[in-house]
Every structure is written in C-alpha cells, then in structure tokens.
Amino acid sequence: MLDLDEDDDLEVFSKNTTEGSSFNPSTQTSPGSMINQYKFQEEEEEIDTKDIFVTVDDPESYVTAIETYITYRVVTKTTRSEFDSSEFEVRRRYQDFLWLKARLEEAHPTLIVHPLPEKFVMKGMVERFNENFIETRRKALNRFLNRIADHPIFSSTEDFRIFLTADVGALTSHKKQGPGFLSRMGESVRGLAATVRGVRNRPEEFTAMQEYVEAFGQNISSLDKVTQRIVREQKEYLEDLKECVPTYTQWSNSEEELAEPLRGMASCLERCFTETEEQVKELNDNLNPTLHEYVLCTETLKTVLRRRDIIQAEFEAKTEALLAKHADRETDSKVLSLAWDNLVGRSPEEVKQQKQQKLEGEIKEIREDLSKMEDKLEWANNALKSDWTRWKKVMRTDLQSAFMDTAEKNVNCYEKCLAVWESFLLSQRTDAEGTQVSDSS
C-alpha cells in the first residue's frame, strides 16, 4: 500500500512454520477451479503487439552530506526504430519520475497520466528507507513506466525516450529545456482565472464523465480503506494465532492423555498461520496497491477534466471578447470622443475611420486567436474522449485481475485450512473408535 495508517502495514510475511511439524495432513484443492480456467484474451493479444518492455529494479541507497536518496535501475528492451539500440540501462531517482510525469501532463493536458506513488508514505521519516518501503515504491514505479510504455502517445514522446536512454548528465541538460518557473506560474494564474469564470456550455458527455469520476472515487476510496482495515485485522489475528501454537505444545507436555490431540491442534494452527500469511501477502502485494493506484487515479481524472474546462472557458471568454468588439463597431455612441477630437483639429470622419480601422485590426486578431483556440478545444475534447475509453478498459482489466487473483488466493487458503482441520477431525475420530474397541474387549 502507498498510504497507510500503521508503520507495519508494508510488512511482508515470509516465515515458514511448517518445518519440523509432527502433524502433516495432506491438503486438497480444487483442480477444476473456475478461477484457474479464466483467461484474459485481451492480455494475450497485447503480448504479440508490444514492442517496448520496461523494468524497474535494483534499488540503491545513496548518502551524501546534503541528502539521502534512492536510485532505481531502469532496463528497457525495444524493437522501435527511433531508439539507437535494442536495450538500455540507466539509473533514475524518484524526482526523475516526477519530471517525466510533469512533462507528459504539460505536453498533453487532457490525456490521462497514471499516478506515481506519493512522495512520503509513512508517518515517520525514520521508516522512509526500510526495505518494505523501497520495494513497494519500486513496484509502483515499475507500474507507472509500463503504463507509459503501453500508451500509444506517451510512449512515442521524446521525453519518455530520453528518460529511458540518456545518462544522468544528458537527462539533466534536457530537463533545463523545459518552461521556466515564471512561465508555468503565468499558465497557472490563467488556468485559475478560467476555473473561477467557469464554463457555460459544457458538453453533456464531459458532465457525465465528472459524475462517473465522483461515484468511482467514492467507491474505490471506500474499498481501499476497508481493505486496509481487513489487512490490519488479519495481522492481529495472525499474531494471536502465532501465540496459540507454543501454548498447545507446552500443554501437551503436561497432559499425557491429551498429548496427541494437543500436538495436532498446534500443528493445525501452524499450517493455518502459514496459509493466512500468504493470504495477507496477496492483499498487500496485489489488491491493496491496485485499489490505491486508482484512488490516486481519481484525482488525476478530476485534474484532466478541469484542464479541459479551462480550455473551453478560455475559448468562451475569447468568443465574448469578439462579440464585444463587434458591438463596439456597430455603436454610434462616441459623441464625447468625437467632440474632443474636433477641439484638436481632427474631422469626425477621420476619427471615425481610424477607430474603425483599429477595431477591424483587433477583431481580426481575436478571430485568429479564436480559430486557434477552437482547434485546441476540439483536439482536447477528442483526446480526452479517446483516452477516457482506453482508461476505462485498462481500469476494468486491472481491477478484474486483482479481484480474481484475490479470490483465487482466498479459495486456496480456505481449502487448505479446511483440509487441515478435516484431517485432524478424521484422525481424532479414528483414535476414539480405536479406544472404544480396546475398552470393550
């Protein structure tokens, strides 16, 4: 998970308590499980067409007098002609990923860039660089880059190619070519003004998108919080389960007649502890990160929709400015101006002609700007509609896969635990019947 309440929520269980167990019943699973037979045809089709593969691995920590940071190895394999080679290996910091995301959003404001993991995920900075944190972030960064690599537009950008291939010096040089701070601040101010002004005639399909995002955000956020709570409760259950094992074992040493069933109980609890560990690990490694990624995605979608609205608001404002200029050209209420111009020796006709020429020039300039803005709005609308369809398809595949994997892990866990306890019951019934036969004889 990327946003958790407890410092131990990134814990990965690995202890195997089944070794040396005196009670080792066979476990049974369902070989014909419907889940095992399920296949994602779309994923199989994409494998044949994918031409760029990216892996983020091998994190390394660096400590300097100024800062402490982590770099990750980014390995790229591709058959694309725009790359100079078929394989590249570079090292990147988290801030480099932030830069790439910002550049993609800047160049394509109404396309959906999947989110990065939050900058800080722990309550205390002491835990910032522990192994679980680093591994969780590595997986999230790996998912982020593969989202970009799978995108038909983002994967073809120069920024993405340079991120994957350039050495540190070349990447730093390329970063400096971006817009300056004042330029970005000016764009933010204009965007804020457009947001305050709002849009008057938003197409219904984008209003429907906003409503969908609001509902989706509420649902996915609730699932995210509930799943985190389930993980915490399961970990508490595991701790209790773990304490029971030595208790039953010690008890068996002092109860000769109950020694075998007590050791059997201890062995069953050991096996169930191990299976539940794997179940919790599946939630932490698969379901939780997927849910939380789409919690963050909700904010991304809201931002993209706001950017589209800003473009439309600017277009509407420019349209209003053009109408105002047309109204000025038609009006004859310039008496005071004409009277003043007469005093300085200029004829009313000359003044009127000059004002008309000035207005015509302004109208022409506004029309040219309006034409460009109309093209920009049309492109933004089409880009968002296309990416929206693509995003929903990817989202549904991701969530369906995460739900199916979780269901399969739960079924396996419960089947194995059930088999453990059934075997224990069978052994106790057999022992009881043997005892009754012995007593009757």
- Domain residue ranges of the chain, discontinuous segments joined by +: 1-18+47-174, 199-332+349-433
Residue 299 in this model has a pLDDT that exceeds 60:
yes
Residue 169 in this model has a pLDDT that exceeds 50:
yes
Cβ-based neighbour number of residue 63 at 10 Å:
9
Structure tokens at 98: 């932030």
Model pLDDT, residue 178: 66
Model pLDDT, residue 198: 72
Arithmetic mean of pLDDT, 237-256: 90
- Please say whether the dihedral angle defined by the alpha carbons of residues 89, 93, 94 and 98, taken in this order, is positive or negative: negative
Q: Which residue has the tokens 């000769």?
A: 256
Taking a C-beta distance cutoff of 8 angstroms, is the pair 294, 192 a contact?
no
52-63 and 68-78 strand pairing: antiparallel
Arithmetic mean of pLDDT, 320-339: 67
Model pLDDT, residue 229: 93
| % residues pLDDT > 90 (the chain) | 55
Higher pLDDT, 115 or 23: 115
Model pLDDT, residue 308: 95
**Looking at the DSSP assignment, which residues form a beta bridge with residue 93?**
71
Arithmetic mean of pLDDT, 54-82: 91
Residue 213 in this model has a pLDDT that exceeds 90:
yes
Model pLDDT, residue 73: 96
Taking a C-beta distance cutoff of 8 angstroms, is the pair 397, 43 a contact?
yes
Residue 183 in this model has a pLDDT that exceeds 50:
no
- Least reliable range by pLDDT among 44-48, 219-223, 243-247, 285-289: 44-48
Residue 207 in this model has a pLDDT that exceeds 90:
yes
Structure tokens at 215: 């509902």
Residue 105 in this model has a pLDDT that exceeds 70:
yes
Model pLDDT, residue 120: 54
CATH class of 199-332+349-433: mainly alpha
Arithmetic mean of pLDDT, 147-152: 94
Rounded-to-integer distance, Cα 165 and Cα 170, Å: 9
Rounded-to-integer distance, Cα 50 and Cα 420, Å: 44
Residue 28 in this model has a pLDDT that exceeds 70:
no
Q: How many Cα neighbours within 13 Å face the side chain of 280?
A: 26
- Least reliable range by pLDDT among 30-34, 399-403, 419-423: 30-34
Written in H, E and C, the secondary structure of the chain is: CCCCCCHHHHCCCCCCCCCCCCCCCCCCCCCCCHHHHCCCHHHHHHHHHCCEEEEEEEEEEEECCCCEEEEEEEEEEECCCCCCCCEEEEEEEHHHHHHHHHHHHHHCCCCCCCCCCCCCCCCCHHHCCCHHHHHHHHHHHHHHHHHHHHCCCHHHCHHHHHHHHCCHHHHHHHHCCCCCHHHHHHHHHHHHHHHHHCCCCCCHHHHHHHHHHHHHHHHHHHHHHHHHHHHHHHHHHHHHHHHHHHHHHHHHHHCCCCHHHHHHHHHHHHHHHHHHHHHHHHHHHHHHHHHHHHHHHHHHHHHHHHHHHHHHHHHHHHHHHHHHHHHHHHCCCCHHHHHHHHHCCCCHHHHHHHHHHHHHHHHHHHHHHHHHHHHHHHHHHHHHHHHHHHHHHHHHHHHHHHHHHHHHHHHHHHHHHHHHHHHHHHHHHHHHHHHHHHHHC
Express each pLDDT in 184-203 by its tens digit. 444 554 555 555 467 788 99
CATH tag, 1-18+47-174: 3.30.1520.10
Model pLDDT, residue 79: 93
Model pLDDT, residue 72: 96
User: Residue 91: which residues within 8 A CB-CB, separation 6 or more?
Assistant: 60, 71, 72, 73, 74, 168
Model pLDDT, residue 128: 56
Model pLDDT, residue 50: 85
Same topology between domain 1-18+47-174 and domain 199-332+349-433: no
Arithmetic mean of pLDDT, 214-230: 95
Q: How many Cα neighbours within 13 Å face the side chain of 119?
A: 4
- Please say whether the dihedral angle defined by the alpha carbons of residues 137, 140, 146 and 151, taken in this order, is positive or negative: negative
Rounded-to-integer distance, Cα 80 and Cα 157, Å: 13
Arithmetic mean of pLDDT, 284-295: 92
pTM for this predicted structure:
0.75
